[in-house]
Amino acid sequence: MRSFVHALPKVELHVHLVGSAGVDTVLELARRHPEAGVPTERAELERFYTFRDFDHFLKVYWAVQSMLKGRADIHTLVVGLARELARQNVRYAEVTVTPYNHITDGMAGDELLAGLESGRAEAAALGVDLAWCFDIPGEKGLVAGRETLAFALSERPDGLVSFGLAGPEAGVGRAQFAPFFAAARDAGLHSVPHAGETTGPETVWSAVRDLRAERIGHGTSCVDDPALMEHLVLKGIPLEVCPTSNVRTRQVASIEAHPVRQMLDAGVVVTLNTDDPPFFGATLEGEYLAVATAFDLTPAQVATLAENAVLASFLPGGRKTSLLEEIADVLASAG
């Protein structure tokens, strides 16, 4: 199964740029910005980076964020992610970037865009195509929604395909962001909010109804509402499921207890993703392997998960067709 999962050409649809920073990348950033106080020696950094609990995860996350000062840092981050994706035979990823956080931290918008652009070019040379989702950090309120929309629409960088919403869900209603999503959709960006990760199915309903979500980030709690599951199936709205992330943040007790089984049984379009991979000790290959093992999936069922991600992506039709053909070939040679 391990070599089969590796051979499948994969697509990642839910990964946060800052949350994708691995030890090599952070080491480079820490040595460039020693004033940030992040360990500059590998062994010490690896200890700092080992997942302990959610509070420590946030501490590491904001430490990485604090070292992102300009285009070179963004470039380092993007290329580090691309190398890791290439290593796992991931061919395409839609990467979530939060411009509002970088800009309020003092980075010029042009610096952010230049780093994304040069990083994306280097990723393509490594065989990994990257697209961007610009998302609203929901906890920062309407001003973050307004600024994120304005930045996305005025800059409209190459590869920007979607508009998202992340951060805590409790007390941060999805509906208040509806005008920003409407404007983003009118401008041709796809709607991909997080919902139902840390709150119940009503948040997923709101994402679908108020934000016209085309995919749902997580959506884990949909299994508590059969009518919602039916709606997701009927409308073909895929879920970006991140099993290890859900275990690490204690939304579910274990991979075995993850509701992905119920989602699959109900016919919901499930895609597997990593969220903030090195922080959670996750890899995309690891997610496929963990789910395949926990739920005793056949190679054909695992290949379907890879196909789901291709179909749920915002790749052009021709690229989807060629990736689907390649997945079919891998499955045929495994049989």
Binding mask 270-309 for Zn ion (x = CB under 5 A): -----x----------------------------------
In the bound state with Zn ion, the residue whose beta carbon lies nearer, of 168 and 226, is 168
Helices and strands counted in the chain (H then E): 17, 9
Q: How far is the CB of 276 from Zn ion (least distance, A)?
A: 7
**Cross-strand partners of 132:** 95, 160
Mention every residue, 6+ apart, whose C-beta is less than 8 A from residue 321. Answer: none
* Residues 6/81, Cβ–Cβ less than 8 Å: no
Q: How far is the CB of 58 from Zn ion (least distance, A)?
A: 13
Both structure tokens of 194: 């997080």
* Amino acid present at 56: H
* Amino acid present at 61: Y
Q: How far is the CB of 91 from Zn ion (least distance, A)?
A: 21
β-pairing, 216-218 vs 190-191, is unpaired
In the bound state with Zn ion, the residue whose beta carbon lies nearer, of 269 and 323, is 269
Q: Report the run of H or E that residue 162 belongs to, with start and end.
A: strand 160-166
Minimal CB distance residue for Zn ion? 275
In the bound state with Zn ion, the residue whose beta carbon lies nearer, of 77 and 331, is 77
Number of residues that bind Zn ion (CB under 5 A): 1
In the bound state with Zn ion, the residue whose beta carbon lies nearer, of 141 and 167, is 167
In the bound state with Zn ion, the residue whose beta carbon lies nearer, of 74 and 166, is 166
Q: How far is the CB of 277 from Zn ion (least distance, A)?
A: 11
d(CA 180, CA 211): 9
Q: How far is the CB of 14 from Zn ion (least distance, A)?
A: 6
CA angle 10, 13, 18 (to 5 degrees): 110
Q: How far is the CB of 197 from Zn ion (least distance, A)?
A: 7
Question: Tokens 């963990």 correspond to what residue?
Answer: 290
* Residues 217/14, Cβ–Cβ less than 8 Å: yes
In the bound state with Zn ion, the residue whose beta carbon lies nearer, of 180 and 280, is 280
Binding mask 5-44 for Zn ion (x = CB under 5 A): ----------------------------------------
From 60-68, 269-277, 300-308, 315-323, give the range in contact with Zn ion by CB under 5 A: 269-277
In the set 28, 84, 197, 287, the catalytic residue is: 197
**Cross-strand partners of 77:** none
In the bound state with Zn ion, the residue whose beta carbon lies nearer, of 207 and 297, is 207
- Cβ neighbour number for residue 48 with a 10 Å cutoff: 17
| 197 classed as catalytic | yes
Q: How far is the CB of 95 from Zn ion (least distance, A)?
A: 11
From 87-95, 101-109, 248-256, 267-275, give the range in contact with Zn ion by CB under 5 A: 267-275
d(CA 316, CA 294): 33
Question: Tokens 């290959």 correspond to what residue?
Answer: 285
Both structure tokens of 258: 């993850």
Q: What letter does residue 34 receive in the DSSP assignment?
A: G
CA-closest candidate to residue 167, choices 149, 142, 140: 140
Binding site for Zn ion (CB under 5 A): 275
The residues annotated as belonging to the active site are: 197
